[in-house]
Structure 1
Amino acid sequence: MPKDLSATSLRIHNAIVAETAEKGIGAVAMLPIAKRAKVSAGTLYNRYASKEDMLQQTYLQIKHRYHAQLMQVGSGPSNQVIRRLWINFFAFIQDRPQELLFLEYAGAAQLLTDAQRAEIAPMQAEVSGLVQTALDDGTMRPIPLSVAIDLLMGAALTLARRHALAGNTAPISEIDTTFETLWSVLRAEPQAPKD
């Protein structure tokens, strides 16, 4: 939950996220969001230039918080960093599963301007850099970076989405089992000692 928002801003944020997660981007409208947030429609129009602006600002706000939590991986061996990256992904959405759906729907709708896409590109590069390090140092089997990211994030998103759509969160045991199964495929094979 955003910690830097006033009570009114938080109600508006939650209403935008909930309406989008429940109805999809195409069906989102300012009036139902205002009603849900218990504010006037004028309040929304004072904050946002348009529905598109409202969705863009909300997306960027969530994306920045998500990235900040995701990157709290510390240092250490690459296998531990990748594991913490995975755990941090689920930690972010445990209390706010609708924010995952919002990010997915808004991302798929390609609402961002070129400048906004440029704003989030370094975030994506930073995550990719962690995976690239695990590939470069031999922690992960030698596969293309795009394949490694697709496997890691695809599995995480599928698991999280399934539970978010069901209105719950993935149990830790399922998160752990999924990661361990995936990691058994991604990790490099141990090298036999050289004689």
Structure 2
Amino acid sequence: MRHKDENKSEAIFQATVELLNEIGFSDISMSKIAKRASVSSATIYVYFENKEDMLGKLYVKVKHRLSRSIINGFDSSLSTKAACELFMRNTLKFMLDNKQEFLFLEQFSTSPLISKLKLEDTSPLFEPLYAFIEKGKRDGELKQIGMLILLSYCYFPIAQLALAHFKGQAEANEEHLGQIIRMSWDAIRA
């Protein structure tokens, strides 16, 4: 068995993310990924069983990075409102600092491929965020509706701001972020 080099694995992941954002799922191939990563096609199979295995592991890896960024600074002393604001600020920071990975997640999460793959459950990664939402519901600070619906009112406006920023349609600045945070809080608070 060949020795695995973490640098090669990361190069393969980065090449895959870049190519997926450039050409999409239908046109990507292991040979294109290998060429972009400056490795042989055979090297990819040292790290991954097949393209689906690689894409699934890449998705989980990016979700791990996202979760670490999103929950950075969370602690039990935060109010529900402060936790929601921190979540939104951290989310936008991740999106702006990791454009390629964010665009990959956006594309992958709407792809039919996601339902075909047996992916690791990433929900435990976001447990601190879920705990704040549940506490906010128990304390009567948040509407008594499903977790995903509440979070969607905080996540999707931020994602749209990041996408508009990348397209040059709107600036992801403090003014716009503040407006979105206030509107999202108004939408989810009890």
Scaled by the length of structure 1, the TM-score of the pair is 0.79
**Does structure 2 retain, via aligned residues, the 8 Å contact 1:100–1:161?**
no
Deviation string 1:106-137 (CA, Å, 9 cap, x unpaired) is 222243667524x2233355533322222222
Aligned length: 182
- Answering whether residue 107 of structure 2 is matched by residue 105 of structure 1, we say yes
**Does structure 2 retain, via aligned residues, the 8 Å contact 1:86–1:156?**
yes
Note the C-alpha offset of 1:59. 0.6
Note the C-alpha offset of 1:161. 3.0
Note the C-alpha offset of 1:42. 1.5
Scaled by the length of structure 2, the TM-score of the pair is 0.80
Q: Which moved more, 1:100-109 or 1:35-44?
A: 100-109
Partner of 1:156: 158
Deviation string 1:124-178 (CA, Å, 9 cap, x unpaired) is 55533322222222223x2413432221122122222333456x98334322221
**Unpaired runs of at least 5, structure 1:** 189-195
**Does structure 2 retain, via aligned residues, the 8 Å contact 1:98–1:164?**
no
Partner of 1:187: 189
Alignment of 1:28-177 (within 5 A): 28-72=28-72, 73-75=74-76, 76-109=78-111, 110-111=113-114, 116-117=119-120, 119-123=121-125, 126-140=128-142, 142-145=143-146, 146-164=148-166, 170-177=172-179
Identity of aligned residues (%): 25
Q: Distance in 1 between matches of 2:116 and 2:123?
A: 12
1:20–1:129: structure 2 CA closer, same or farther, 3 Å change rule?
Answer: same
**Does structure 2 retain, via aligned residues, the 8 Å contact 1:15–1:36?**
yes
Q: Distance in 1 between matches of 2:97 and 2:171?
A: 8
Partner of 2:17: 17
Q: Distance in 1 between matches of 2:141 and 2:154?
A: 14
Secondary structure of the 1:25 match is coil
**Does structure 1 retain, via aligned residues, the 8 Å contact 2:9–2:47?**
no
Secondary structure of the 2:8 match is helix
Q: Distance in 1 between matches of 2:75 and 2:53?
A: 34
Aligned Cα RMSD in Å? 2.7
1:163–1:42: structure 2 CA closer, same or farther, 3 Å change rule?
Answer: farther
**Does structure 2 retain, via aligned residues, the 8 Å contact 1:97–1:169?**
no
Note the C-alpha offset of 1:71. 1.8
